[in-house]
Structure 1
Amino acid sequence: MIRYATIGTGFITDSFINGAAKSGEMKLAAVYSRTEEKGRKLALQYGEDVLSFTDLEKLSKSSLIDAVYIASPNAMHASQAKLFLQHGKHVLVEKAAASNAMELMEVMNLAQEKGLVFMEAMKSLTMPAYLLLKENLHRIGRIRKYVGIYCQYSSRYDRHKSGEPVNTFQKKFSNGALMDIGIYCLYPLVDLFGEPEIIKAQATILEDGGVDGSGSMLLKYRDMEAALLYSKISDSHLPSEIQGEKGSILIDRIGSPRELTLMLRDGSKEVLVPETEEEDMVYEALEFVKTIRENRSFSSINHRHLAESVHKVMDEARRQVGLSFPSDEKYRK
């Protein structure tokens, strides 16, 4: 069993803990929270033997854990990952794993130097429906278009509009629509087709907080185009789609796919619904453990080159829309 700790007390942490438990390969040993009360409450929720820490340094040095799952605000991911890698712990970190590509590369270099695992938690790439998508992609012939859509009205947006300083909409935390959910549209694209030749981005920048509430990208490849639409201030009920010369594949939810619809030009239609666990973060937990046991620093699914490529595209998109984070300043020439 891989003994792990968590950083963060939000709903995503609960989801991962449940997924990790479902894997049968990971055991929750400790949780971290800035406040003792929240930490103890979370720890007790998952067992009397789960410890609570309010000191990150002590947690990183603890001999009771082998790994850490980081779900703090984006701007803290890189520094926290480095701390745990320095003390010999494997790291699984929520997307976006860093504020920019340079920061990400520093962390990955450290993981490789230490012989430890560093993995960005992009669960969709590990889910059965996505793996099935890759198996069936050849059936629609030469790919000509990719449309990735993820628009979901944030449960925290109303609080932001009322004047409350919510992390999700604060530039200092390296947040916003692209970093939080646009990344879900981008990862499959780059995984399947590589880095685009041309990137054109636009965004709606929110007045308070200064981050992008919504945005879009047009990306050009040698023989295909892609369009990404993402928003935290409006909803969409449209599926994502990959179009080929022989047909199309519809993806129900690009961030957590469970159902594919294959529509061929001969008029045939096939709905593919692979068995998927309700605790769908189990698949990334299993991939994380597999990478540890194979003594590799990076997952073969969400590998180093893929993560770096995705973050480079996001950096360029932010540059085009004029969105910079405090964390970017360190790398400006």
Structure 2
Amino acid sequence: MIRFGTIGTNFITKLMIEAGSHLESFELRGVYSRTEERAGEFAGEYGAPLTFTSLEALVQSDEIDAVYIASPNSFHVEQAVLAMAHGKHVLCEKPLASNEQEAAQMIAAAQQHGVVFMEAVKSTLMPGFLSIKENLHKIGKVRRYVGSFCKYSSRYDSYREGTVLNAFNPKFSNGSLMDLGVYGIYPMVVLFGSPQNIKANGIRLESGVDGEGSVLAAYEEMEAVIMHSKINHSYTPSEIQGEEGVIIIPNISEPSGVYIQYNDGTTEHLDEKNDFPPMYYEIKEFISLIEKGEKQSDINSHKSSLITSQILEQAREQMGIVYPADK
């Protein structure tokens, strides 16, 4: 069994625990929260025997093998480095860090202490995305990648009424690009590597984060377009456009229903059935790495995470978005 401790008691952590429960080698052992009341409530809901109100106590516990981090983005680096320094494997929610320097620091800590460290991007480990990778050659030379994820945030209602919640607070390294844009950028990096250059534009809200925006990424023989928003919806699918056809991805954050529309009018469905919750596949990958004695994923690799962090930081600079963590 891989005994997990969690940092963060939000809905993402709940989804992770529910997905992990489908794996025989997953055990929720401990829960951290700043208050004993919340830690006890959350642990009781999911049957975790241990609660912590001290991060040091969590990472020093002999009953914890791995730590799942789902705290605000600006806390990731400190918590991940602390856990890895105590020999804990770390699965850290996306985006990995506030900026490239923090991401590099986390990766260096993982290498120094010989632990598994992986960014928890669920989409690139789901069957639908693996099918895209396997069948990408069928559309010929790729000329354009389009990653679109625009989803109106319920927290924006509060923002419009004058209350700035965490999702729109630069203190926590948040905003549309970090929260949703990463869903378009990370798969692009996994499939095509680092772009030659990027150009970014966006709408900067008064709170200091971006509400929506777009990123153009230039490659040697193709271009990529990333669209993201937390202040409006879009129902536009994502696409990979090749000279022989187009791979259509209805939902880039949870790839399913994927198919190829060929130039001759024929269609080939690539969809792989998701037998488990979306987060199951990233947890399975993470546990498998620990069990095999490997240190990083071939897909959600340190390199992919570092390149993604570079792109996110460059895009923010061009939009004029600066976090306290950058200073």
State the TM-score, normalizing by the size of structure 2: 0.98
Correspondence for 1:130: 129
Equivalent runs, 1:111-122 vs 2, <5 Å: 111-122=110-121
**Match of 1:9, SS?**
coil
Correspondence for 1:45: 45
Paired letter, 1:223: E
CA deviation string 1:257-279 (max 9, x = no partner)? 11102100111012232110342
Correspondence for 1:170: 169
Q: Judge conservation of contact 1:251–1:261 (CA < 8 Å) in 2.
A: yes
CA deviation string 1:170-229 (max 9, x = no partner)? 00100001111100100111111111112110010111x210010101111111111110
Q: Judge conservation of contact 2:208–2:322 (CA < 8 Å) in 1.
A: no
State the distance in 2 between where 1:34 and 1:161 align.
29
Aligned length: 327
Aligned-pair distance for 1:75? 0.1
Q: Does 1:248 align with 2:258?
A: no
Q: Judge conservation of contact 1:115–1:296 (CA < 8 Å) in 2.
A: no
Correspondence for 1:219: 217
Correspondence for 1:54: 53
Structure 1 unaligned blocks of 5 or more: none
**Match of 1:146, SS?**
strand
Correspondence for 2:68: 69
State the distance in 2 between where 1:97 and 1:44 align.
28
Q: Judge conservation of contact 2:125–2:281 (CA < 8 Å) in 1.
A: yes
Paired letter, 2:270: L
Structure 2 unaligned blocks of 5 or more: none
CA deviation string 1:47-86 (max 9, x = no partner)? 1x52221111111111111000000000000000011111
Correspondence for 1:20: 20
Paired letter, 1:15: L
Q: Does 1:318 align with 2:316?
A: yes
Correspondence for 2:191: 192
State the distance in 2 between where 1:210 and 1:90 align.
34
Correspondence for 1:32: 32
Choose which of 221, 228, 231 in structure 2 pairs with 1:230. Answer: 228
State the distance in 2 between where 1:109 and 1:251 align.
34
State the distance in 1 between where 2:296 and 2:224 align.
27
State the distance in 2 between where 1:24 and 1:163 align.
46
CA deviation string 1:226-275 (max 9, x = no partner)? 11100001111111000000000100111111110210011101223211
Equivalent runs, 1:98-117 vs 2, <5 Å: 98-117=97-116
Aligned identity (percent) is 48
Correspondence for 1:79: 78
CA deviation string 1:78-98 (max 9, x = no partner)? 000011111111000100111
Relative to 1, partners in 2 of residues 1:8 and 1:290: Cα closer, same or farther, differing over 3 Å?
Answer: same
Q: Judge conservation of contact 2:96–2:309 (CA < 8 Å) in 1.
A: no
State the distance in 2 between where 1:258 and 1:25 align.
26
**Match of 2:68, SS?**
strand
State the TM-score, normalizing by the size of structure 1: 0.96
Correspondence for 1:294: 292
Choose which of 236, 260, 263 in structure 2 pairs with 1:262. Answer: 260
Q: Judge conservation of contact 1:202–1:216 (CA < 8 Å) in 2.
A: yes
Runs of 4+ in 1 over 6 A off after TM superposition: none
Correspondence for 1:3: 3
**Match of 1:23, SS?**
coil
Paired letter, 1:233: I
Q: Judge conservation of contact 1:25–1:286 (CA < 8 Å) in 2.
A: no
Q: Judge conservation of contact 2:100–2:309 (CA < 8 Å) in 1.
A: yes
Q: Judge conservation of contact 2:148–2:237 (CA < 8 Å) in 1.
A: yes
CA deviation string 1:293-325 (max 9, x = no partner)? 222222111111111111111111111111111
Paired letter, 1:91: V
Paired letter, 2:256: R
Q: Judge conservation of contact 2:131–2:271 (CA < 8 Å) in 1.
A: no
Paired letter, 1:202: N
Paired letter, 1:281: M
